[in-house]
């Protein structure tokens, strides 16, 4: 059914925003200084705001009194369609920035296409989000350059994160069956076409940051099919704690 | 400067205060005024920053997306308050690093309320309603305090705090009107936060060492006991309205004084927490110290990068 495909397609975008927003919000109050703490929280707020717009739309499509919170909190792990990259833990600030940067570049390219979607709601959400995500990309790219060109320690730490997280980048461009159906309807974005531009932008920033681009033959994937990393269960047990412990209540 | 000259300046200074003029960073001020302000403003800034922790504890577990976003934004506001207050404090000639050092070594204090744990979601409601409620009562008079940068920071802080307080009360109201489990959660949170919130307004006037001087400098406009009474008078009807019970069997309306009479506050508990023996003193301070230590390499990198950029600019200019 077309509607079900569209709903799954929306999850594929929105779940990324939710998980990345959740990871960033874990940092609130623990940042390296107040200014950075505030900036990371801003990004988290943008992402969670976008999540709500997508889920409200998905809830409306689903009908049957489903709410944004049912979608956010009451699915099983296998039903979340986010990529593996965004669920990776905060390890240290180098990971936080690298994860953000590797996602932001993709996210902006995706939204620039999604704003042309034949689905007017998705197009409207994308147009609004582009402004936010352009800022995210500028923030994370600047930090990549700052850490890469900063001190020897910072260069090593950010390079470590780049080396570790690189294996999750290829999944961003993988097309699922639901994606294909929604693309056929003119509502979805063919992410496989974004790959070349993505690596070009990412590599340019890494070069400016004097960081080396990892050469990998094997990439990790699975998130888009709901097969996540071991980190995901813990992330969800935090995220879903209240809704699971006290079902069917209003907050 | 001779003693006579100093005395003359002090007199002019006191007259300015009496005329309700603002004192600005470049104006002459007595050393004691400067020190007292550094102590109070930094204590206030530290309270904002440490205060992010008990509430931050629930961001990842907030029960709905709406509540998650609101809580995240609230905790971010506290960071913003910390930022203006540290900046106001820096105008008195002390650096942010020195201020952090004082917090991390335990030399500077922060509000003791934040040494209590947030155990359930209702604690987020109770903090907004009671702790922010008590903070506003403490802080509104500071909007007209004599030191300009502090007064201006407080105007902004108070606006945001009153929004937080309404948000907290709304969480409590939702719980109180919810299922029996939710109502019990709300009552339990009120039971645990009520007395510490009363203590937040400071020791009784008889015990308060700074009150007299602070009243003179308009750093304080009402005594601790007056503020506490105002808080109780304001909060009791709010609890009644949502059907929650204040955990004080001595609490009753006094027709003669037109105030509520209330039971005895356990000041031993207050002083124990102030001295570092509260439920979370160690955790809160370690969280701050760890964040600062773990962030050192990041701050170093940012400084090194800024220096390199500056050098490049100079090279290009040459």
CA distance B19 to B146: 10
- 3-class DSSP state of B199: helix
CB distance A30–B290 less than 8 Å?
yes
Q: Which residues of B touch A142 (CB under 8 A)?
A: none
CB distance A93–B65 less than 8 Å?
no
pLDDT at B195 over 90: yes
What are phi and psi for residue B210, nearest 5 degrees? -95, -10
Q: What is the pLDDT of residue B191?
A: 98
Q: What is the pLDDT of residue A1?
A: 60
C-alpha distances in Å from residue A248, one per residue of A4, A18, B99, B171, B180: 24, 21, 47, 17, 13
**Residues A154 and B313: beta-carbon distance below 8 Å:** no
Say which residues have a Cβ less than 8 Å from residue A168's Cβ, sequence separation at least 6: A83, A84, A85, A88, A102, A219, A220
**Residues A147 and A159: beta-carbon distance below 8 Å:** no
Q: Does B182 touch chain A (CB under 8 A)?
A: yes
Residue by residue, pLDDT tens for chain A (251 residues) are 689 999 999 999 999 999 999 999 999 999 999 999 999 999 999 999 999 999 999 999 998 899 999 999 999 999 999 999 999 999 999 999 999 999 999 999 999 999 999 999 999 999 999 999 999 999 999 999 999 999 999 999 999 999 999 999 999 999 999 999 999 999 999 999 999 999 999 999 999 999 999 999 899 999 999 999 999 999 999 999 999 999 999 99
CB distance A32–B300 less than 8 Å?
no
Question: Mean of the pLDDT values across residues B169-195?
Answer: 98
CB distance B82–A34 less than 8 Å?
yes
Whole-prediction pTM value? Answer: 0.95
Question: Would you tell me which residues 86-125 of chain B have a C-beta closer than 8 angstroms to some C-beta of chain A?
Answer: 86, 121
């Amino acid at each position: 059914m077309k509607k079900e495909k569209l709903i799954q397609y929306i999850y594929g975008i929105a779940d990324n925003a939710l998980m990345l927003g959740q990871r960033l919000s874990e940092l609130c109050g623990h940042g390296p200084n107040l200014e950075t703490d505030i900036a990371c929280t801003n990004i988290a707020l943008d992402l969670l705001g976008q999540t709500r717009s997508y889920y409200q739309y998905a809830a409306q499509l689903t009908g049957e009194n489903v709410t944004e919170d049912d979608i956010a909190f009451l699915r099983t792990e296998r039903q979340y369609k986010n990529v593996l990259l965004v669920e990776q833990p905060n390890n240290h600030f180098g990971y936080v920035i690298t994860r953000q940067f590797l996602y932001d570049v993709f996210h902006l390219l995706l939204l620039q296409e999604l704003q042309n979607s034949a689905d007017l709601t998705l197009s409207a959400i994308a147009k609004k989000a582009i402004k936010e995500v352009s800022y995210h990309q500028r923030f994370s790219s600047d930090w990549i350059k700052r850490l890469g060109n900063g001190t020897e320690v910072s260069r090593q730490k950010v390079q470590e994160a780049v080396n570790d997280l690189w294996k999750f980048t290829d999944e961003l461009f993988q097309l699922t069956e639901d994606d294909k159906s929604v693309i056929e309807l003119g509502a979805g974005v063919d992410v496989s076409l974004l790959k070349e531009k993505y690596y070009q932008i990412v590599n340019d920033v890494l070069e400016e940051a004097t960081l080396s681009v990892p050469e990998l033959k094997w990439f990790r994937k699975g998130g888009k099919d709901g097969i996540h990393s071991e980190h995901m269960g813990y992330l969800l047990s935090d995220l879903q704690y209240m809704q699971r412990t006290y079902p069917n209540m209003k907050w | 400067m001779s003693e006579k000259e100093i005395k003359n300046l002090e007199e002019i200074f006191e007259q300015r205060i009496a005329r309700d003029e603002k004192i600005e960073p470049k104006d002459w001020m007595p050393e004691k005024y400067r020190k007292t302000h550094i102590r109070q403003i930094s204590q206030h800034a530290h309270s904002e920053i440490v205060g992010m922790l008990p509430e931050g504890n629930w961001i990842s577990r907030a029960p709905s997306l709406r509540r998650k976003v609101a809580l995240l934004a609230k905790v971010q506001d506290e960071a913003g308050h910390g930022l203006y207050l540290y900046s106001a404090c820096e105008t008195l000639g002390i650096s942010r690093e020195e201020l952090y050092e004082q917090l991390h070594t335990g030399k500077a204090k922060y509000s003791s309320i934040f040494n209590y744990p947030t155990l359930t979601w209702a604690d987020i409601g109770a903090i907004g309603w009671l702790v922010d409620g008590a903070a506003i009562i403490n802080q509104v008079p500071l909007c007209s305090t004599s030191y300009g940068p502090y007064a201006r920071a407080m105007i902004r802080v108070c606006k945001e705090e009153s929004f937080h307080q309404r948000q907290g009360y709304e969480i409590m109201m939702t719980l109180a009107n919810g299922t029996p489990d939710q109502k019990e959660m709300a009552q339990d949170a009120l039971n645990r936060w009520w007395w510490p919130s009363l203590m937040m307004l400071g020791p009784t006037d008889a015990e308060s060492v700074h009150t007299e001087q602070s009243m003179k400098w308009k750093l304080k406009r009402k005594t601790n006991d007056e503020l506490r009474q105002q808080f109780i008078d304001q909060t009791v009807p709010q609890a009644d309205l949502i059907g929650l019970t204040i955990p004080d069997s001595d609490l009753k309306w006094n027709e003669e004084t037109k105030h509520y009479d209330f039971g005895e506050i356990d000041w031993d508990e207050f002083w124990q927490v102030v001295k570092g023996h509260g439920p979370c003193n160690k955790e809160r301070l370690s969280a701050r110290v760890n964040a600062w230590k773990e962030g050192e390499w990041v701050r170093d990198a940012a400084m090194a990068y800024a220096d390199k950029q500056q050098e490049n600019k100079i090279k290009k200019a040459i």
